[in-house]
Amino acid sequence: MTHIEQVIQAFGKHGAEHLEAERRKSTADSLQAILSWGAVLPLSLCRLAHGMIGILDLDETSLLFGVAEAAKMPSWLVEFQGESSEVQGLRVVMAEMSPANAAVLRQLVPHTRPQTLGLKPTFGFGDRIGLATSGHVLAMDAAGERIIPIFAQQSIREMSRTARTAREVIDDATWGVFRAGWVRPFGADADHLKTTSDVEMTAQAGFVFFTIDPSEYVDQHVENYNQNKIEQRFQNLIDSSIEGAPDFINLYLDKTFKIEKEQETIRVTFDEIALKRAAIKYGRALDHTYQMAHHVAKVMGSKPFELELSVDETAQPTSILEHLFVALELKRHAIPIISIAPRFVGDFEKGIDYKGDVSLFEKSLIQHMAIAEQYGPYKIGVHSGSDKFSIYPSIGRICKGRFHVKTAGTSYLEALRVVCRKDKEFFRSIINFARSRFAKDRESYHLSAGLDRVPEAGKLKDNELERTYLDQDHGRQILHVTFGSVLTESTNGHYRFRERIRKILLQNQHLHEDVLRHHLGKHISLLLV
């Protein structure tokens, strides 16, 4: 069989369908011989009616290609913006990975579009550089279909600090899943949304999961208020027309709610002080949540979407009574929350393992999960989930498949691991710059790292760099929280680090995928223990 016959035989007849495993390599080899340049990626090959599309890797870039018989050129082929030519009776289009072509790809190949995922267990992969999705796909090998990935996940803060747009985040995930041949559902999480304009921007880009962050409206000082101030603040809620506030007393005062957990029943009673403290702490935050939720529904229209409420970025842990109050109010106002992320006991610092008593975390998680099941149902969100290895088995066991874990910075650190292994002097320059920015950049994070706890790069041997700055807590956090400064530092419009980091990752695609598979795969595996 000739190369041309091999390729034509693999063409599709109807809708989009990735090529079956046993035909990928031979078809890729035939396409390689016909196209005669670049490297055809077998996993990307996807049949369309009377043709095929796939990814062609060049030295430091990639192209989308479409191919069909010249005499039977299908209409979908001309939708891609690119250079068209005829090769041995085939019409070939070479197209850049542009926003316009990503939009066409999502229309033609449904499994490159994010979906709503319901109550299934989900794991969020953050990608701050835009080249990690294919490695994240490989990390999912450990899960099979037991955990559903959210490949496009970025907060407004992260987008601002990395100078990326919401559309870029969606497009990078689109190309990544197509490149890796991912055909199962995946999600897209617009994380930590605080304003209606945040909602509009991310909805327009294609996000379907919206995490509402009302933390600016949470009163984090309520525990310090005396009786007079509690009465004053509670009355202010009512006078300020906070939605639902006039009903709090009639609905909850001295009422006892039963929470069934395993073999035990917990009784939570809203005495006057406890009720008013919970209302003061979360009343305005809930009011803001209702407004945001209604705006999401308005913007999305008939399109499916999901909502998460994040109250994890507070100084004090969310008590069981506070969680119950929030859950009851969300239910009363018919807000369709799919996940709530409470502030757990212990410390969830960025980029390192959980700091705290695991047994206390488990006890708290059991209670939070019981509320989620009884007054939802919804999933429990675990944010700042990067590298929290010691509690992953607890999350998997206690939540019984109803969890949503988020990671972000750990994938950035693994990208720097590739940089370290391939260009140590460049990695040293990143460390030096990160150290110079650490005092400023750490201000918005809860951290225990300090510059005095980690040697300067110049004092370390080459074989000590990776261990010190990527395997030990203080070094990891210094690099973790300075990601925005590193990725956006520029002079006269030229990025000092960003493009060189991308170049190293593109030149070492397989290594990048391998370190992500290993590190994020460990996260996934422990959740399944």
Sign for the pseudo-dihedral over CA of 409, 514, 187, 47:
positive
For 37, how many CA atoms within 13 A lie in the half-sphere containing its CB?
Answer: 8
> Considering only CA atoms, which of 301, 283, 377 is closest in space to residue 336?
377
Structure token pair of residue 389: 């290895």
Query: CA 6 to CA 501: how far, in whole Å?
Result: 39
> Considering only CA atoms, which of 114, 148, 192 is closest in space to residue 527?
148
CB-based burial label for 316 (10 Å; 0-12, 13-18, 19+): middle
For the range 434-441, what are the long-range contacts, defined as Cβ-Cβ under 8 Å and sequence gap of 24 or more? Answer: 434/478, 434/479, 434/482, 434/485, 434/486, 435/478, 437/482, 437/485, 437/486, 438/478, 438/481, 438/482, 440/485, 441/481, 441/482, 441/484, 441/485
Listed in order, strand segments (DSSP E) in 373-474 are 379-382, 403-406
Would you please indicate which residues are annotated as catalytic (active-site) residues? 191, 308
Structure token pair of residue 439: 């005092």
Structure token pair of residue 426: 């460049």
